[in-house]
Structure 1
Amino acid sequence: MRPRKLILCVEANEQVLSVRKFLLETRGYRVVGCASAAEAIEYLQGALPGSIDLLMSDLQLPQMDGNELVRRAKQLLPGLPALILSNTVTGYDRAAAADAFLPKGACTPAEILDRIRILVARKRGPKKQMPTAEMMPHEMAVAG
């Protein structure tokens, strides 16, 4: 059995974080939830390079926004892909440090999961696991 991908999910709203964790965990991801950018930075500082497959953060966080979190995370772990979500339309302009941006509420859970799958596959590069990382969820169920 191949190891499950680890997503560091940062969201100040406890209910939203809980829903996101549930969505990701039911799709086979391991999720570490953080309620603040400071908590995420602390986790990232103790992480081994390559141990986290994706940083997924809300743009609007207390004390430090998601964009600054992504900048600092990439200083600590340069190859770490990052996805920023925001409920503000103008948030895209401020999410320049991330590899991808999705508007909250305007995209479906399937779109979020698809973007995550692409970012995680891109992080790994062209290795033997690449074809399995590119499989659609129904193909993984058949293969697994």
Structure 2
Amino acid sequence: MENYAEKELLNQPKKPDWEHVHKLMEHLKSNLEFYYLDLNSLESLIDYYFSKLVAKENLDELRELQQGVLELKNQCYYLKNRLRSYEKRKEILENLPVLNDENKTLEDEIQKFINEENELEKVIFSMIQEVLGNDTADTVILN
């Protein structure tokens, strides 16, 4: 009989730790703010080195990178709005006995966004490093 009662307790959904959920959402919000600023920096880097990048790289590839930055900025804006919407509804959500899938889905989407941003950043930095590396080599040879 005791085993049955224990199994019933284990099978019941656990009440979510809302304080943890709110801290997680604040952390995600902070991450999105950081990555939005990072995307602005990447955009500025592309603009600053545009003429040098065009000379070394294919113009179409450079335009794709610019488009990728713009798409990620739009995705970041969308995710920030979803977080704001979540925050507005948190009082309603707290009255639910179990945590809904919205939190996990939002967290997964933000992580996917961060991974895509990191990959784009690597490509942009490697292109700029290649351009700068060639410039310093040319300067050394000319002097």
Q: TM class by shorter-chain length?
A: under 0.3
How does the TM-score come out when normalised to structure 1?
0.24
- Greater CA radius of gyration, 1 or 2? 2
Which structure is higher in helix share?
A: 2
Which structure is higher in strand share?
A: 1
How does the TM-score come out when normalised to structure 2?
0.24
